[in-house]
Amino acid sequence: MDELELGSALRARRKATDRTIASVAVDAGLSVPYIANLENGRGNPTLAALTRLSAALGATLTVSLGDTPAPPHDEAVASLVDNSDRATRVIRQLAVSRGTTRRAVREHLITALEALSPLLPNTPTTADLHRLLDLTLLAD
């Protein structure tokens, strides 16, 4: 969640409870300008301030850390990789030699093939995939 999303969520929650910034500020022990800035996507709130603000709004603050989701892949390219027995074997081999997961190697392979797509005259083909696999194995 970025600052603007946080600010919008805070404002929406405050308005849904029919509260003013001043009344929330008093309950949270924070200043009116501080809360106004947060609602406008400005400021750098501490976890303690967000916890007090959440309690004043009758909400629960949840913080989570996780992997950034990978952007969706071109389904045609992903399908090309997933339906290739040769790609499956190379992915397995590279995962072992590099000490990583097959999933990670697959993601990198799809990303590489997608990056090459604009340079190709058409959608990547099995032959293009095999060339990429050959280059990858040569580099390994």
Q: Which pairs from 100-109 meet CB under 8 Å and 24+ separation? A: 106/81, 106/82, 107/70, 109/81, 109/133, 109/136
116 with 136: CB under 8 angstroms? no
Tell me the average confidence (pLDDT) per consecutive run of 10 residues in the chain, 140 residues long: 80 93 97 95 92 94 78 89 96 91 92 93 94 91
> String of b and e for 82-110 (b: at least 16 CB within 10 Å)?
eebeebeebbebbbeeeeeeeeebbbebb
Q: What is the pLDDT of residue 70?
A: 67
Q: What is the pLDDT of residue 140?
A: 74
Structure tokens at 74: 């071109």
Give the Cα separation of 36 and 21 in Å (integer): 7
Q: What is the pLDDT of residue 55?
A: 95
